[in-house]
Amino acid sequence: MDNGQDPGLVAVATRRTALTIIKPYRFYGEPVVKACIENGTSCIDISGEPQFLELMYWKYHQKAAEKGVYIIGSSGFDSIPADMGVIYTSNKINGTLTAVESFLTINSGPEGLCIHDGTWKSAVYGFGNQNQLKKLRNQSNLKPVPIVGAKLKRRWPVSYCRELGSYSIPFLGADVSVVKRTQRYLHENLDQSPVQYAAYVTVGGITSVIKLMFAGLFFLLFVKFGIGRQLLIRFPWLFSFGYFSKQGPTQKQIDAASFTMTFFGQGYSHSCPIENNKPNIRVCTQVKGPEAGYIATPIAMVQAAMTLLNDVSNLPSVGGVFTPGAAFAKTKLIDRLNKRGLEFSVISSSEV
């Protein structure tokens, strides 16, 4: 989720590390990445755009490695809670974690919820250019990451989560792309068991489901055509049923908002063979924090930068283009986030 600021660059020069807030990143991000690498400067961004993030990896990972710099994307609300949340869950299970589902709940106050249209624009351009992302992935020709343990079953487009007492829909942000890239890195480079992952967002009761279905249908219809995308970008408030606006949230809306991301994980105890057996461990964890775009995102981004500067010995041994989980899995980032309002906790853990 972009934080709604106008296109621009925020840079912190200490030890040659840049923090970038540039939206949409598909238009403004690559020149900054290129300039950082050429000048030996590490870079952290808050992009939630899978096409940009994956393209930067394929174009600049080797160049960044040669320069010894770290280019770390999606270091805001997209996607530090999800990516580090899966790693946290894996660290807290007494065995091998093999699959996780996350459920994002956005909480609002009496004045409701509103998101700046910068996030809306990124979504419009992202869905409008899905074919480019598919082409990029096909060209990469990566071998599949192995599925360990029981295969994670995908939920219906609208499903009911009994544990949370709410309907949910698939989360269409960058989290799944980022977490999968992290799990590939941890498996291929650190020989860790990969974790299957699916992301959802809770939408409340049946009235909210119907409202979102209509908004989704309009969005998917209009985003396919150039004139449709222009209309979506020009009238975000109308086509999002009031969830997005050019003005963004009021201060009262920001102060009253918060988020909870709940992770339901399953895996195998050390005494239970994985082959031909059902998972025998369940674990539930949470990441909780303040309003996502204007408060949680800056906290996550700044603490990622502090970790990059201060936990050098625990970063990957060579530079490159990384996800937050790939870069920070062995660092104290979660401890730093806990101290500043993004709280990671274990809700329950049991063997069945």
Residue 3, CA distances (Å) to 24, 178, 200, 242 in order = 11, 19, 21, 17
Residue-level pLDDT at 23: 74
2 part of a folded domain = no
328 part of a folded domain = yes
Write the pLDDT tens digit of every residue in 74-127.
999 999 999 999 999 999 999 999 999 999 999 999 988 888 887 888 888 888
4 part of a folded domain = no
281 pLDDT higher than 70? yes
295 part of a folded domain = yes
Please, what is the Cα angle at 130 between 126 and 136, to 5 degrees? 110
Q: What is the DSSP letter of 294?
A: I
Residue-level pLDDT at 4: 44
What is the distance between the alpha carbons of residues 52 and 172, in angstroms, rounded to a whole number? Answer: 15
231 part of a folded domain = yes
- Residue 1 and residue 76 in contact, taking contact as beta carbons nearer than 8 Å: yes
- Residue 182 and residue 326 in contact, taking contact as beta carbons nearer than 8 Å: yes
142 part of a folded domain = yes
Write the pLDDT tens digit of every residue in 10-50.
434 345 677 877 778 888 999 999 999 999 999 999 999 99
Q: In the chain, how many domains are there?
A: 1
90 part of a folded domain = yes
Question: In this predicted model, which residue has the larger pLDDT, 299 or 5?
Answer: 299
3 part of a folded domain = no
Write the pLDDT tens digit of every residue in 47-75.
999 999 999 999 999 999 999 999 999 99
Task: Please give the residue range of the domain that contains residue 31.
Answer: 9-351
The pTM assigned to this predicted structure is 0.90
- CB-count burial class (<10 Å; 0-12, 13-18, 19+) for 199: buried
What is the distance between the alpha carbons of residues 242 and 113, in angstroms, rounded to a whole number? Answer: 9
